[in-house]
Structure 1
Amino acid sequence: MSRAFVKESDAVEELPDKLISEHRNLVTPEGLTQIEAEVERLQAEHAEAQRLGDRDALQRASRDLRYWKQRLTTAEVQRPPADASVVAFGSLVTLERDDGRVQKYRIVGEDESNPTKGKISYASPLAQALMEKSVGDVVHAGTGEAEIVKIG
C-alpha cells in the first residue's frame, strides 16, 4: 500500500538494532544466567507493552529483545580456568600499577563487563595485554605499566 494511504498514527517505525560485537560471544556461567534473566525480563516487558498498546515501549522492548536473544543464541560458555599459573578468560587478576595502586579485575564476556565493579571484557586492551601472562609479568596498562601480583 502506498505511504499516502497510511495514517500517521498507524506508521510504526522500528528502532534500529543495537550493534553486535564482531568478537566471539564468550561468557562465564554467571554471564549466561544474566543474559537469560534479561531475555525473560524483556519478554515480560514486551507482553506488558502489547497489553497496554504502548508503541514506544513495544519498540524498545522489541529491539532489546532481538539483541539479547541473539546474544543468548551465540553465547559460548567458558568454564573457570583450571590453571591459575597464567591469565585466561575468567581469571581474577591482581595488578600493582606503577603508581602503587593495587587493582583486581576478573576477565569476563563483553556483556558482563563493568570495570567499576572489577569486571573487564576479554576484548579490552588491558585484558588482551594480560592474557597468557604469569605472576611477575609487567604489562602496559593505560598510560603506565602494571605488574601481575596474583592470579586467582
Structure 2
Amino acid sequence: MSVAFVKEESAEAASETLLPDRPISPHPNLVTEAGLQALELQLQQAREAYAVANAVEDVNERRRQAGHPLRDLRYYAARVHTAQLMPVPSSTDKVAFGNTVTFSRDDGRVQTYRIVGEDEADPTKGSISFVSPVARLLIGKAVGDVVQSGNQEIEIIEIA
C-alpha cells in the first residue's frame, strides 16, 4: 500500500471529524427542571456514544464515528454548564417562563403551549421557547389581554 494513499485516507477521515460546533443561542439558557434533566441525559448519551466510537480499532473509522458524538458532547456540556434553572411559576396572574398558556386567534384556532427553554421547546408536543415570537408577545400579559401577532390578534384565555 502506498504511503500517499494512507495519508490521503487519513486526511479524508480527519476532515470528516472536524465538524463545526452546533450553534449556541446568544439568549440566556433558561431551563425547567425537566429541561435540565433532558440536557443532562443527552450529555450522558453523547459521552457514551463517544466512548463507543473511541473503542473502534481502525484509526480512520474511529475518527469518522467519533465526529458527531464529539460535537454533541461539546454542545451538551456547554448547555448544561450554562443552564439557569428557573423556578416553577408561583402565580398564574401573568404569563411567565414555565406557564402553560391557552390563547385564541382571529381565525378561530385555540392553541395551548407551555413556555420553556430553547432546547426543550417542541411545538408539536405543546411547548414553545421563551424567545419565540409568540412567547415574547405573551410573557407579562394576563388573561383577557389581546396582543397583535402579524396581521392577527391573539387573546389570552387561560394561564396555568
- TM-score of the pair, normalised by structure 1: 0.92
Q: How does 1:3-82 map to 2 (within 5 A)?
A: 7-11=7-11, 12-13=14-15, 14-52=18-56, 53-82=61-90
Residue 134, structure 1, aligned to residue 142, structure 2: yes
Specify which structure has the higher proportion of helix.
2
* Structure 1 residue 142, shift from structure 2 partner: 5.2
Counterpart CA distance in 2 for 1:134 and 1:142 is: 20
Counterpart CA distance in 2 for 1:71 and 1:143 is: 35
After TM superposition, which residue ranges in structure 1, 4 or more long, deviate above 4 angstroms? none
Counterpart CA distance in 1 for 2:34 and 2:151 is: 31
Structure 1: state its 5+ residue gaps: none
Secondary structure, in 3 states, of the residue corresponding to 1:105?
A: strand
Q: How does 1:84-103 map to 2 (within 5 A)?
A: 84-103=92-111
Aligned length: 148
Q: CA RMSD in A?
A: 1.5
Q: Which residue of 2 aligns with 1:124?
A: 132
- Cα deviation, 1:111-147, whole Å, max 9, x if unaligned, reads 0111111110001110000010000001223541211
- TM-score of the pair, normalised by structure 2: 0.87
